[in-house]
Amino acid sequence: MKIFSIDRITDTELFNLANEVNLKENIDYFCNFVVAREKGKLIAAAGVNFTRLPVPKFEHIIIAPQYQKTRLFVIMLKKLEEYIKARGYKGYISFILNTNNHIQNYALKWGMKPYNIKSNGIWFEKKIGG
């Protein structure tokens, strides 16, 4: 498995991965993606949108079903944070819908802090680096 950062992956690759996991949200195609591939096939993508300055917004983590119960999720989050930090940022934000309560719980375990609760979800923030 190879993990690396790129600014763009093809829309078709991303669309196919989203369909494979039955993603129930719109993809933000303005994201920069950290991706993982196995034998050339896209198996995971984590996206961050830098257009919402001054703080980047973590938008997506999409992982192929056969890898969802592996350490790949944690590896992707670490690589995404390294990518954000390398671009000079000291943190990021993310909005997680209430329909994804399990992801909200994981965000808390990952060290993200809720800072604004809405009727349909929670805004989280995480500080990174020193």
User: pLDDT digit string (tens) for 28-49?
Assistant: 888 888 898 888 888 999 999 9
User: Structure pTM?
Assistant: 0.84
**What is the third-level CATH fold of 2-127?**
Aminopeptidase (3.40.630)
List the Cα angle 79/50/88 in 5-degree steps: 65
Give me the pLDDT at residue 7, please. 46
Strand partners, 94: 124
The structure tokens 């093809």 sit at 10
Give me the pLDDT at residue 113, please. 96
Structural contact between residues 94 and 107, judged by C-beta atoms closer than 8 angstroms: yes
Domain positions in the chain are 2-127
Is residue 65 reached through a cis peptide bond, with omega within 30 degrees of 0 on the bond before it? no
